[in-house]
Amino acid sequence: THLTAALVGRPNVGKSTLFNRLAAAVRGRQTDSRSTPPLTFVRSVVHPLPGVTRDSRHAAAAISDLLLTVVDTPGLEDAVHNASDQSHRPSLVEDEPASLVNAVAHCSDLAYRRVYASMRDATIRAVAHANLVLFIVDASTPLTALDHAHAKWLRSCLTPKKSLILVANKCDVAQSEHRAIDAYALGFGDPVLISAEQGLGFADLYERIRVLP
Ligand code: GDP
Ligand code: MG
C-alpha cells in the first residue's frame, strides 16, 4: 500500500520545513530551503511565527528510494484557548503588508476562532486519511502543554493500520539532544532525531519507516 504520512505537531516545530525538504527530494533537487523552487512546486510557507500553515498540503515526496505522499498540517490548536491567549496571535509584519499573517493579525476574535477551528479540522482530516503520522516536536525548546495535547489526541487516533513515529526536529541546535530524549515522555518510544533545516537524521528516519508493519 502507498504510504501517506501526515506531519503533525504544534506550530513552529518545523513541519513545513520537513515537508518542503521531503517534497523537494522527490524532484531530485538540492533541498536548500533558500533556493527558488520551480513554479509547479507547491511549497509550504515556513515562517518564524506560529500558526502560519492554515490548511493541509499534499506532495509527492521521497526519503532516499522510499516514495511516499507527505501531508503538511496546520496542527491542532484549541481555538478558545488561543482566542483568549493573544500571545499566540501573530503580530503585524511590517514588510509583508498583504500577507496571510497580517490578515490574521487584523481579524476579529470571532474570525480568529474560526481560523483555528478550520486548522483543527484540516489536521483531523489529514490524520484520518494517513497511514503514518510523523509526530514532530521541537528539540530546541522544552516540551509544552500543546505537545502533550497532541500526544493525547494522536494516541486515540492510532489503529493497527496507522503507525506513528515520533520525530525530534531542530537537533542541529545546542542542548537539543537532551530535549529530544525528554520527548520519550510522550509515550511513543524513542524519537528519531533530525534537523529538517540541515538535512540531518534522514537515514534514521528512513530505517524507522522501512521496518513499519
Ligand atoms: P511549522 O509551523 O511546524 O510548519 O514550522 P516551520 O517549518 O514553519 O518552521 C518554524 C521555524 O523553525 C522556522 O523559523 C524554521 O526556519 C525553523 N526550523 C525548522 N526546522 C528547523 C531545524 O531543523 N533547525 C532549526 N534550527 N530551525 C528549524
Ligand atoms: Mg507550517
- Going from the C-alpha of 18 to that of each of 3, 4, 60, 66, the distances in angstroms are 16, 15, 13, 15
Query: Ligand 1 centre from 112 Cα, in Å?
Result: 23
Give residue 79's pLDDT: 41
**116 contacts 185 by C-beta, under 8 angstroms:** no
**CA of 146: how far to CAs of 35, 43, 97, 197, 209, in Å?**
32, 26, 30, 22, 25
Hey, which of 8, 12, 34, 123 would you mutate to test ligand 1's pocket, going by the most ligand atoms within 8 Å of its Cβ?
12
User: Which ligand is in closest contact with the Cα of 48?
Assistant: 1
Ligand 2 being an ion, which residues bring their Cβ within 5 A of it? 15-16, 53
The ligand 1 atom nearest the CA atom of 173: 26
Rounded CA gap, 212 and 165, in Å?
10
Domain 4-77+127-210, architecture per CATH: 3-Layer(aba) Sandwich (3.40)
3-state secondary structure of 168: strand
pLDDT for 83 beyond 50: no
Q: What is the band of 168 on the pLDDT scale with cuts at 50, 70, 90?
A: very high
57 lines ligand 1 (CB under 6 A): no
Asked if residue 196 has its Cβ within 6 Å of ligand 1, the reply is yes
**What's the 22 CA to ligand 2 centre distance in angstroms?**
14
Distance CA 164, CA 209 (A): 9
For 103, the grid coordinates are 490578515
Place of cell 492510532: 158
132 CA → ligand 2 middle, Å: 18
What mean pLDDT is predicted for residues 33-62? 56
Would you say the ipTM is above 0.95? yes
Q: Nearest Cα to 2, choosing from 68, 70, 56, 71? A: 68
pTM for the complete prediction?
A: 0.81
